[in-house]
A and B are shown apart, each in its own frame.
Chain A
Amino acid sequence: MKLRDIAHSRTGDKGDISNISVIAFDAKDYPLIEAYVTPERVKDLFAGVVHGQVVRYAIPSVGALNFVMQKALGGGVTRSLALDAHGKCLASALLNLDIPDRTA
């Protein structure tokens, strides 16, 4: 299945740093998300977009992870040449990640 089947997401921006939340719709899927949405996989997925480190923070009380990605916004929101200078669409790209089915 896709991450989008079990989680929702929003992107935020500060300078050249993008953060993406990944939030379980249902708390029981949080461990699955924690196991499969690793900073390494996120960095791989965004290899062509994010040029700095990716750090993951966990907020289990709301069933969410937060990925903070350096050098992610074309040199910074206010000077980027990108059509989506804020990187707002990154959240949707992350939700396309493949996740093993619960039963697997």
Chain B
Amino acid sequence: MKTIRIGSGAGYSGDRIEPAVELAEKGDIQYLVFECLAERTIAIAQGAKLKDPTKGYDPLLADRMQAVLKLCHGKGIKIITNMGAANPAAGAAKIQEIARALGLKGLKVAAVSGDDVLAELKSGPHRIEETGEPASAMAGKLVSANAYLGAGPIVEALKAGADVVITGRVADPALFLAPQIFEFGWAMDDWDRLGKGTVVGHLLECAGQVTGGYFADPGVKDVADLARLGFPIAEVQEDGQAVITKVKGSGGAVTTATCKEQLLYEIHNPTTYFTPDVIADFSGVTFTQDGPDRVRVAGATGRARPETLKVSVGYIDCFIGEGQMSYAGPGAVARGRLALEIVRERLKLMGVKTTELRFDLIGIDSIHGEGLSNAAGMEPYEVRVRVVGRTETLKEAVRIGNEVETLYTNGPASGGGATKSAKEVVAMLSALLPRTLVTPVVDYVEA
């Protein structure tokens, strides 16, 4: 039975570079996939594109391509990535430029676009899912709206002979599902196989999170050599059966436990995992250890795809201002609490306009609050005061950090290491759009 090997070269925008090189060199893979788009990435990249029409793709695109392009071209490994962010065409042009500089003749790059539906959201009758309000009512604040495309346009690009496919917003598992559909000739309504291929994509999309990254808990769950963590490879068969593995000798581990954690990562109802290509059902998935760092996955299925596409909507929400200061040694906690009280009163006295405020003692209760932290009477050697607030203007946000900083000469004894920040917040909401309003486009450039 025909088998292909797909490597996962990045699980988020800032991920390590060299594990992908290791996969290309030693992974015996035919596809290398980079998943680099977080929820907010496109909204931020949209700003970069507005300033410069040749930008708006992932900031690490050039670094990643410099690292693997020649190797992949030499071995015939095809690259699929969503690093196009807000501007896949500009990303494709950048890859073309790098390929030429490396002397890679005939490299064909496909750019998948059509996910940008901002104009439709601004003018159409669509509602924001979380609030039920019309999206058009917040048109002035909207900075991006991108529909999650499926595997279709990537399959089209592969059929046209693309060596590299760069997209904007595409459902993460679809980046991995596309090569399976292309290689095995699966029908776009073969829901069972698309469900199986989707679980493979879901397991691989966060790269190191299935090979022992984000898993270690010393003494309970030990993982060797995380500094050299190997990224995952899926060995997929034509019938949808798959094995998750990694390059021999790399760090980390592939066990049924690492696979289980990743299976449930960012999943809600396991019987109903919505993607643009299929509603996948993970509820019957089984994992079997087939050998060292080899786990067999079976039992996923699927049913007909949804009629709507999810849209990720970016908008200017607010400003956040923050300040921090450390206290150490005997009485650190009491001085930290005093510092928080002083800043609380100062913000009132000075009339700093906030819509939400938060006072944390890092080291005591900053993550889960006083109750869960069992914070009463806790006396660590050091604590860090953190005051953070939401404002409607940058000017007000700046004032929050300033009030923390003035603790130096006005607050409790021997506070140190003050930091402050103020930033505009681009936040995300979602909407659902009928498929008929979204038209994927594939363009090609050649080196």
Binding site for B on A (CB under 8 A): 4, 8-10, 12-17, 19, 21, 23, 25, 45-49, 57, 59, 61-64, 66, 68, 76-79, 81-84, 89-90, 93
Task: Report the separation of the CA atoms of residues A94 and B442 in the bound assembly, to the nearest whole angstrom.
Answer: 46
Q: Taking the complex as formed, is B257 at the interface, i.e. its CB lies under 8 A from any CB of chain A?
A: yes
State whether the Cβ of B348 lies closer than 8 Å to any Cβ in chain A.
no
Q: Is the CB of B264 within 8 A of A79?
A: no
Contacts of B248 in A (CB 8 A): none
- Which residue of B has the minimal Cβ distance to A47? B371
A84: which of B217, B287, B367 is its contact (CB, 8 Å)?
B367
Complex contact B367–A45 (CB within 8 A): no
Q: Which of B18-26, B67-75, B166-174, B386-394 contacts A (4 or more CB under 8 A)?
A: B386-394
Interface residue B237 (Cβ < 8 Å from any Cβ of A): no
The listed residue (B271, B320, B372, B426) touching A45 by CB distance below 8 A is B372
A20 nearest in chain B by CB position: B264
Instruction: Report the stretch among B51-59, B116-124, B326-334, B356-364 that lies at the interface.
Output: B356-364
| Chain A residues, Cβ within 8 Å of B287 | 62
* Sample of 4 further A-B pairs with CB below 8 A, known A10-B265, A49-B368, A90-B368: A8-B220, A62-B287, A66-B270, A76-B427
Question: In the complex the two chains form, is A48's CB within 8 Å of B428's CB?
Answer: no
**With A62-B260, A78-B427 given, is the CB distance from A57 to B270 under 8 Å?**
yes
In the complex, identify which listed stretch (B84-92, B154-162, B277-285, B433-441) lies at the interface while the others stay far away.
Answer: B277-285
Residue A12 contacts which of B265, B271, B390 (CB distance < 8 angstroms)? B265
Query: Which of B217, B260, B371 sits near A64, CB closer than 8 Å?
Result: B260
Docked-complex contact A61 and B284, CB < 8 angstroms:
yes
Closest beta carbon of chain B to A23's beta carbon, Å: 5
- A-side interface mostly: mixed
Q: Does B366 touch A at the CB level, under 8 Å? A: yes
* B368, A81: Cβ atoms closer than 8 Å: no
Interface size class of B (residues with CB under 8 A): 35 or more
Q: How far is the CA of A66 from the CA of B273 in the complex (A)?
A: 13
Asked if B261 and A10 sit within 8 Å, CB to CB, the answer is: yes
Is the beta-carbon distance between A83 and B299 smaller than 8 angstroms?
no
Q: A49-B369, A59-B283 are in contact. Are A19 and B266 (CB under 8 A)?
A: yes
Cβ-closest 6 pairs across A and B = A12-B266, A21-B264, A79-B427, A78-B427, A10-B261, A48-B369
| Distance (whole angstroms) from the CB of A30 to the closest CB of chain B | 12
- Nearest CB to that of A23 among chain B residues? B260
Q: How far is the CA of A23 from the CA of B265 in the complex (A)?
A: 12
Of the candidates A15, A17, A49, A63, the one having the most CB atoms from chain B within 10 angstroms of its own CB is A15
A66 and B372 contact, Cβ closer than 8 Å, known pairs A10-B214, A81-B320: no
Which residues on A sit within 8 Å (CB–CB) of B360? 83
Q: How many Å lie between the Cα of A20 and that of B372 in the bound state?
A: 16
Listed by A's residue number, 19 A-B pairs whose Cβ atoms lie within 8 Å are A8-B217, A12-B264, A14-B268, A19-B266, A21-B265, A23-B257, A25-B257, A48-B370, A48-B371, A59-B270, A62-B260, A62-B286, A66-B270, A76-B130, A78-B40, A82-B358, A82-B367, A84-B367, A93-B372
Q: Is the CB–CB distance between A83 and B320 below 8 Å? A: no
Contacts of A63 in B (CB 8 A): 260
Interface presence of B104 (CB below 8 A): no
Contacts A8-B257, A81-B356 hold; do A59 and B369 have CB atoms under 8 A apart? no
Interface contact B39-A77, CB-CB below 8 Å: yes
CA distance A84 to B368 in the complex (A): 9
Question: B388, A23: Cβ atoms under 8 Å?
Answer: no
> Are A68 and B268 in contact (CB-based, < 8 A)?
yes
Among the interface residues B264, B358, B426, B430, which one has the most CB atoms of the partner chain A within 10 A? B264
